Structure 1
Amino acid sequence: MPKTLALRQPRILLLSAYDAGSHRCWRKQLVLSQPEFEWHVLALSPRFFRWRIRGNALTWLSEPLLKEHWDLLLVTSMVDLASVRGFHPNLAHTPALLYMHENQFAYPASDGQHNSIDPQMVNLYSAIAADTVLFNSDWNRRSFLEGVEQLFRRLPDGIPEGTLELISAKSRVLPVPIDDPVFLSEAERQSLEAGERLWRNGLEPEPGALPLRIVWAARWEYDKGPDRLLAILQELERRALSFQVCVLGESFRKVPEAMTTIQQQFAHRLVQFGYASSRSEYYEWLGSADVILSTALHEFQGLAVLEAVAAGCVPIVPAREVYPELFAPEYLYPDCGDDIPAEAAHAATLIEKQAVDGHGDRLTVPGVQRFSLGALKPKYEALLLEALF
C-alpha cells in the first residue's frame, strides 16, 4: 500500500456522462455504501444522447476537478475515457474502472435513430483505456464482446492483434445492487395496507376470488416492448382471466401508440398508469402485486424486475437478453421474434397459472438475495481496493 494512502482516504472521481435514473441511483447508492473513500462526482444531465456520449470529454475540457490528483477514476459506459485521459495528461496513469450499465453494440436501434458507429466506438475505446471493465450482467459482457468481434470483422484493416482478448481478460461482472429494504418477507407483504388501498383504487373489492395483480414497470419506449404488453393484455382478456394491471415507468414526450391503446382498452383493468408519485409508493405497488411482467426487447440487468421479485412478485419474463441468466426456465416464456401474437399466447399461459382459480402449478417467488446491497457491498469494496493497490 502506498504510504500516502495509508494516512488518508483514497480519493475517487466518479464520472457519469449521461446521468439517467438508473445511473444516478447506482452512483448515489455506491457513494453512500462506501464511506471509506473520499468521493467526488461529475455528472451530465441525461439529454441530447448523441452529443453526450460523443462530446462529454469536450464538455469537461476545462473542468477544475480533472486537473487535480486522483487515486482512482470510476466512469460509466457513456464516458469517453480515452479522450478524458488524452485531454488531461495528469490522469493518463491514474487507475480507471469502467462500469458498463449497458453497451451500444447490443442496444436495439429504433427507426427514428440516425445510424452511427460513434457510440460503439466510444464504448470500445473506453474499454481499451480502462484497467478493468465491469458489467452489470454476464449477458451485457458477452453481447459487448460479441459486438466488438463483429465490428472488427467489418473493418478493412489495422486491427491490433489480441485487442478483443485484452478486453475480455480485464472484464468482470458486478451487478447493480438492490437496496436491502426492498426485500420483503411474506408477513411484511401481507401487512402492506397502503399497497392494498392502491390496488382497490378507491373501490370496494368484488365478492369472490381476488383478481390477479400484474405489474409492468419500464420506460415507455420501443425497446421495452409496449406493443407486446398490449398483445398479452388482449390475450388475457380473450381468455376471460380476472386480473388488474399496474403500468409503471417513465414516459416521454412521444408516447408509444400501444400505451395509448392500453389506456383506452383496459381502463376497467388499470389501477395505475404512469410514474409512481414517490419511490415509497413504487415499492408499495411492487410489494402488493402477484406478478411482475416484462416484455423487454432490451435488458442488460433487469433491475426493475429484480426489485419486484425482491418485493415478492413472481417474474414472467421473455427468454431473451439477461433473463435466462437470472431465472429458471419455468419463469420464461419463449422469444418468438416478430410473431407477437404467438409470444403473447405463451406469456398469457404462464400468467394464467398464477391466478387463484387457475389451472396447473403456481410458481413460487425465486430467490434474488445475491443481488442485495448487503451481499454486493463487500464485493464493490474489495474491487475498489484492488484497483487502488
Structure 2
Amino acid sequence: MSVLLIEAFYGGSHKQLIDLLQENVEDCVTFSLPAKKWHWRARTASLYFMQAIPSSSTYRVLLTSSVLNLAELVALRPDLGKLKKILYFHENQLVYPVRKSQDRDFQYGYNQVLSCLVADVVVFNSSFNMESFLTSISTFMKLIPDHRPKDLEKLIRPKSQVLYFPIKFPDVRRFLPEHKHFYKSRMYGIDASTNPDSSGCLSDLQRKQPTENNTSNLTPGPNKIMSTTCPEEAFKSPETSQEMNRTQNPETAVLQHEEDKPPNFNPCDTRKMVERDDGGNQSRPLHIVWPHRWLEAVHCGCYPLCPKALVYPEIFSAEYLYSTPEQLFKKLQDFCRKPDIVRRHHVKVDTDQFSWAALCRKFRSLLAAEAGEDL
C-alpha cells in the first residue's frame, strides 16, 4: 500500500473523508481510533500509532487530520517522517469556539502548529479555516511567557492550500416540488455531460453501490438556519455528526466533537406533509430546521439563512446572510407570512463544486507521491 491514512478520531466527517478516500483511491491502508474521548486522542494518539502501524517499504504518502500530533509521530517513527506528509484541517484549535477564552487549552492549538511545521502539505477545508489559523498563530504564541518563537506563519503559509470537503450527493429530484425539477436536472442530466458520475472519478465498484448522503464539515458556526419543504427521506440526519453544544445564549451555539451517537431527527415528517404543489400554496406550513450539515441541506432544496461571519460569506451571497438576531427574526417572519418566497426560490449556490466528482482529481493528485521523489 502506498497511501497511509491515519485518523485519530474516526467519526463524523473525519470518518467520512477517510472512508471516501479508502473506497476511491487505489493502494490505501487505514489506521484509526474510535471517535471517543477527543481530548485524549489529541494528547496520546501518536504513541498508539507508533506501535500500531507496521513498518513497510511500500508507504509513499501519509495523510492525517489535525487531531493527531504529527510532530510526535514522526519523531517516534522516523521511517514515517520520510513520507510525503499531508495534514488535513477539518477545524482549527486556535479559533475554535469556546465559552470563555480561559477555557481554551493551549496544548491543542500548539500541537496543530507543530504538526504544520513538520508536514509537507497543509490542507484546510475552507479559506476561512486557513486564514483564521495562519493569522492567529502570532497572537496565540504570545501566550507563552517568554522566549516566544517568531515568524511561524511564514514557514507554514507557503505549504498551505484549500481543498473543500468532498461529498457524494444523492439524486434528490424525486423528493422536490415539480417546479424545481428542471433546476436540479442541470446537475443530474441523463446525458454524460451533466451526469455527476461521468467525471470518471468514481470507481466501478462505487458506481454499482447506492450513493450515501455523506456530510461535510466546513468550519462550523452559530445558528445555521434553513427553511425547507423537503420530505424526510431527502433530509435524514447523518448517522454520525458533531455534537451541538449550546450555551445559555442560543446565538452562541457551537459545534463540538461528539462522543455519542445523536438521536434520530426528522425535520420533515411525511405524515404531516400534504400533496406537493407548484410552491404557491400559502396554507401549507413552512418547515424550519437547524441542520448540522448545510451543504447537503441546500442540495436538498433548503433556503439557507446563515450568520454573516465565519465561513458563510465565503459560500453564500449577501441575500442569505444576517448580521443581527433582529435581521434573522425579520427574515423568518417574512418567510412564514409568505412561504412561497422560499418555495419558488432557487438557491444561488453551486453545490456541485463540493461534490466528490468535482474534487476527486485534486485529492488523487494530493495523494500522489511527487515524481522523482527520493523516498
The two structures have a TM-score, normalised by structure 2, of 0.68
**Which of 316, 331, 346 pairs up with 1:364?**
346
Aligned AA for 1:48? Answer: K
The CA distance in 1 between the partners of 2:243 and 2:7, in whole Å, is 24
**Which of 312, 332, 340 pairs up with 1:351?**
332
Aligned AA for 2:176? Answer: R
Q: CA deviation at 1:143?
A: 1.0
Find the residue that maps to 1:16 and give its secondary structure: strand
1:114-129 matches, cutoff 5 A? 115-129=104-118
Find the residue that maps to 2:34 and give its secondary structure: coil
Aligned AA for 1:121? Answer: Y
RMSD: 4.2
Aligned AA for 2:347? Answer: V
- The equivalent residue for 2:197 is none
- The equivalent residue for 2:20 is 29
- The equivalent residue for 1:95 is 84
The CA distance in 2 between the partners of 1:24 and 1:333, in whole Å, is 32
Distance 1:180 1:352, change over 3 A: same
- The equivalent residue for 1:60 is 49
- The equivalent residue for 1:144 is 133
Q: CA deviation at 1:384?
A: 1.9
The CA distance in 2 between the partners of 1:72 and 1:218, in whole Å, is 24
**Which of 335, 346, 361 pairs up with 1:378?**
361
Distance 1:305 1:387, change over 3 A: farther
Distance 1:28 1:254, change over 3 A: closer
- The equivalent residue for 1:51 is 40
Q: CA deviation at 1:18?
A: 1.2
1:236-385 matches, cutoff 5 A? 274-276=263-265, 304-334=293-323, 336=324, 343=325, 345-355=326-336, 357=338, 363-366=345-348, 367-385=350-368
Q: Is the 8 A contact 1:291 1:316 kept in 2?
A: no
Aligned AA for 1:369? Answer: D
Distance 1:116 1:356, change over 3 A: closer
Distance 1:81 1:252, change over 3 A: closer
Q: Deviations over 1:125-162 (max 9, x none)?
A: 11111000000000100111122121233434545554
Aligned AA for 2:81? Answer: A
- The equivalent residue for 2:176 is 189
Q: Is the 8 A contact 2:128 2:311 kept in 1?
A: yes
Aligned AA for 1:30? Answer: L
The CA distance in 2 between the partners of 1:322 and 1:253, in whole Å, is 19
Find the residue that maps to 2:264 and give its secondary structure: coil
Distance 1:329 1:253, change over 3 A: closer
Q: Deviations over 1:301-353 (max 9, x none)?
A: xx71011111221111111111010100110011x4xxxxxx1x321322344
Q: Share of identical aligned residues, percent?
A: 27
The CA distance in 2 between the partners of 1:348 and 1:359, in whole Å, is 18
- The equivalent residue for 1:168 is 157
- Return 5+ residue gaps in structure 2 as ranges: 179-214, 250-261, 277-284
The CA distance in 2 between the partners of 1:292 and 1:168, in whole Å, is 40
Q: Is the 8 A contact 1:72 1:94 kept in 2?
A: yes
- The equivalent residue for 1:298 is none
Aligned AA for 1:18? Answer: F
Q: Is the 8 A contact 1:13 1:73 kept in 2?
A: yes
Q: Deviations over 1:274-315 (max 9, x none)?
A: 4248xxx99xx9xx99777559xxxxxxx7101111122111
Q: CA deviation at 1:23?
A: 0.5
Find the residue that maps to 2:367 and give its secondary structure: helix
The CA distance in 1 between the partners of 2:111 and 2:365, in whole Å, is 27
Q: Is the 8 A contact 1:310 1:368 kept in 2?
A: yes
The two structures have a TM-score, normalised by structure 1, of 0.65
Distance 1:142 1:97, change over 3 A: same
Q: Deviations over 1:7-64 (max 9, x none)?
A: xxx6111111111211001111122222xx3111111112222211011111223224
**Which of 89, 93, 97 pairs up with 1:108?**
97
**Which of 13, 16, 21 pairs up with 2:7?**
16
Aligned AA for 1:317? Answer: C
Distance 1:175 1:258, change over 3 A: same
Distance 1:88 1:135, change over 3 A: same
Find the residue that maps to 1:105 and give its secondary structure: coil
The CA distance in 2 between the partners of 1:251 and 1:131, in whole Å, is 29
